[in-house]
Structure 1
Amino acid sequence: MSKFVQGLITFLFCLIVPSAVLLTLSLLDVTGGVIPPLIALAIGGGFGLLYGLEAALLNIYDLESPLGWLELVVDLTWSLPNTLFGFVVGNILYIFFGTPSRTDSEGQAWISFSPRGAGGFGHSVLQTLGTVNLGGAGQHERQHLLQARVLGPFYLPFVVVSYVVTGTLQLAWTLLFGWWLALLGVRDKAYLRPPSNSAVGGFFGWIYYATPLELLGYGLGNP
């Protein structure tokens, strides 16, 4: 199958499937009437058109393999909230730090931005939102891609809850214990700190590192 045909099939799937999924959810009243059918079609069609174009031009799905088909179907159905979120937020954010890379995206089932400049966001700190990435595979970015596909619509809520929990623990420790220990000279910092291999350091670094999905990502590394 030529790359042109793969890109065309990817585009058509992206154009049709998200609209069908959102319309079905609307008609079944899964959204509680928040998204009427016509709005569901508009959102699905608009997203599908733009995501399909980007995914097709970069040939991100290898449709010569069963895995490529599975990734395409999952991204447009079970993991659609993550794909939509990553496409919108990732493209808006990452365009300031890099450019879409065909080399890092083709056949990899994600849209990867190659960072500009030297150092900083996209170099020492990589990020993946849904199927949109900045900086390449790195330490464990493809783990987040897999996590989103496995957890589907529960992925984003789980991430938010995880940060709330670790943020609360960090604040409680710092205010109730760490401050006193630092004052007595037992600790050099009042707050909990992540290990040296964490991409993010300082006060927020432990909040980030201690979330379950990050612990899993650092534990397993790249697939």
Structure 2
Amino acid sequence: MVFGIISAAVHIVLGAAFGGWAGGTLGLLIGAVVGLLVGAPFGWAVASAGVYGPDARGVWLFLVDHTWSLLNTAVGAVYLAVHLIFGHQLDRTTSQHSCRVNLVEGVSPRYATTIGTVCAGSSPGIQRHEDVHIFQGRLLGPLYIPLVLLNYVLFTIAPVWLLWHDHTNAPINAFTRYFEIGVYPHVWNEAIAYRIQGSPPR
């Protein structure tokens, strides 16, 4: 319960600080409301599922997620709120003491997607892959999302990955495959995660 309350409060303060910086007093108030709308569902999920254990690991990762990796956590909180709006369910059993928020349903039945500490549509067979993304975010903090987005942009407009892509087993023979089979598995964060667990889509 304490972790959930603190988490929600951190999101409110973050929203207020950003709003105040962008638009003075009115911006501060709007930012605080946005922080509440995003932080309350995230705090509820953290408390409801007992995401962070009371041990040293749980406390340490909670601190990392709400300081150095706060940008990732905040974006993940937005991601969680959208899932909840669409009626997706919190996976309390998988989330408990895992230091991540798991959702039963994903964006697509074919893929699990992790943003910040929120993992949607995962399964035991691919959870390690998704946990790599959470670790990457915690390690790189505020640099993680910009670096991932930059890699997507670069590999979309300058497909150097074609030099080492497996053209025989995963041919790029359709527009959608350019992104799904080409760009996506070759960006740095996915390439590392697939090396640790799983095979890229073909």
Normalised-by-shorter TM-score class: 0.7 to 0.9
Tell me the SS of whatever aligns to 1:133: strand
5+ residue gaps, structure 2, are none
Deviation of residue 108 (structure 1)? 0.7
Query: What are the within-5 Å matches in structure 2 for residues 1-223 of structure 1?
Result: 8-24=1-17, 29=21, 36-62=27-53, 64-93=54-83, 99-115=89-105, 121-122=108-109, 124-134=110-120, 135-136=122-123, 138=126, 140-170=129-159, 191=172, 202-204=177-179, 205-221=181-197
- TM-score normalised to structure 1 length: 0.69
8 Å contact kept, 2:39–2:77? no
Deviation of residue 10 (structure 1)? 1.3
> How many Å separate the matches in 2 of 1:105 and 1:190?
37
Deviation of residue 215 (structure 1)? 1.4
Tell me the SS of whatever aligns to 1:100: coil
Deviation of residue 219 (structure 1)? 2.0
Deviation of residue 78 (structure 1)? 2.5
Tell me the SS of whatever aligns to 2:58: helix
> How many Å separate the matches in 1 of 2:87 and 2:38?
23
Deviation of residue 96 (structure 1)? 5.7
- TM-score normalised to structure 2 length: 0.75
Deviation of residue 173 (structure 1)? 6.1
Deviation of residue 45 (structure 1)? 2.8
Q: CA RMSD in A?
A: 3.7
5+ residue gaps, structure 1, are 1-7, 175-185, 194-200
When you count helix as a share of all residues, which structure comes out higher?
2
Aligned partner letter, 2:185: Y
Tell me the SS of whatever aligns to 1:78: coil
The answer for the alignment partner of 1:177 in structure 2 is none
> How many Å separate the matches in 2 of 1:20 and 1:99?
27
8 Å contact kept, 2:38–2:81? no
Report the structure number with the largest CA radius of gyration: 1
8 Å contact kept, 1:163–1:208? yes
> How many Å separate the matches in 1 of 2:57 and 2:144?
21
Number of aligned pairs? 190
Identity percentage of aligned residues: 25
> How many Å separate the matches in 2 of 1:190 and 1:220?
23
1:90–1:190: structure 2 CA closer, same or farther, 3 Å change rule?
A: same
Aligned partner letter, 1:207: V
- Please list the CA deviations of residues 55-99 of structure 1 after superposition, one character each: whole Å capped at 9, or x if unmatched: 11111111x212211221222232222222222224424876953
Deviation of residue 128 (structure 1)? 0.8
